[in-house]
Amino acid sequence: IFFRGFAMPPRYIIEQLDTEVFPWALLEFKHIVTEIDPSQVLFTNVPNSADVDKLQPLGCGICPESIQVDTAKYGRICVLDPRAPEVLMPQDADAFDCLVFGGILGNHPMDGRTERELTSHLAKAARRHLGELQMTTDTAVLVTHRILHDQVPFD
């Protein structure tokens, strides 16, 4: 079963783009589920059984395939991309079924890795940003939750 028994599709999707789930990333992912119900979080593009074993204790959904394989099952998608033209707003809460984040280590200076490896492959998805600064995955997910769930504008 794709969503592992969850009643609803997950709201926050983390597309694993690095070659493995590194220890620092696992710490970020653990932080996410301390603040957001694990049933609302899905990790995609996790084909490696060792990575599945690392993520399973979090209680989130895990999918070996990339979100790019079958976007229709996710509904209205929004990719959080630092190079997106529009900022995420509280009014977007009902506009999207899921928010997609690149599970990647960013480069400094930013070089468009999210756009290259994720956004460009999801042509029908909306795009939003969270300001000009690069964020860790957990920070991006939690800021997004604060904007959409708590209805606090990005400032």
Contact assessment for residue 130 and residue 148, using Cβ atoms and an 8 Å cutoff: no
- Residue 84: per-residue pLDDT: 92
Contact assessment for residue 137 and residue 112, using Cβ atoms and an 8 Å cutoff: no
Work out the pLDDT band at 9, boundaries 50, 70, 90: low
Q: What is the mean pLDDT of residues 21-30?
A: 95
Work out the pLDDT band at 144, boundaries 50, 70, 90: very high
3-state secondary structure the chain: CCCCCCCCCCCEEEEECCCCCCHHHHHHHHHHHHHCCHHHEEEECCCCHHHHHHHHHHCCEECCCCHHHCHHHHCCEEEECCCCCCECCHHHHHCCCEEEEEECCCCCCCCCHHHHHCHHHCCCCEEEECCCCCCCHHHHHHHHHHHHCCCCCCC
Residue with tokens 């009014």: 91
pTM above 0.85, yes or no: yes
- Residue 4: per-residue pLDDT: 44
- Residue 27: per-residue pLDDT: 96
* Model pLDDT for residues 94-125, shown as the tens digit of each residue: 899 999 998 766 666 766 777 777 888 888 99
pLDDT of residue 142 exceeding 90, the answer is yes
pLDDT of residue 139 exceeding 80, the answer is yes
**Distance from C-alpha of 41 to C-alpha of 43, rounded to nearest angstrom:** 7
The fold of the 12-150 domain, in CATH, is: Alpha/beta knot (3.40.1280)
* Model pLDDT for residues 47-92, shown as the tens digit of each residue: 999 999 999 999 999 999 999 888 888 889 999 998 899 999 999 9
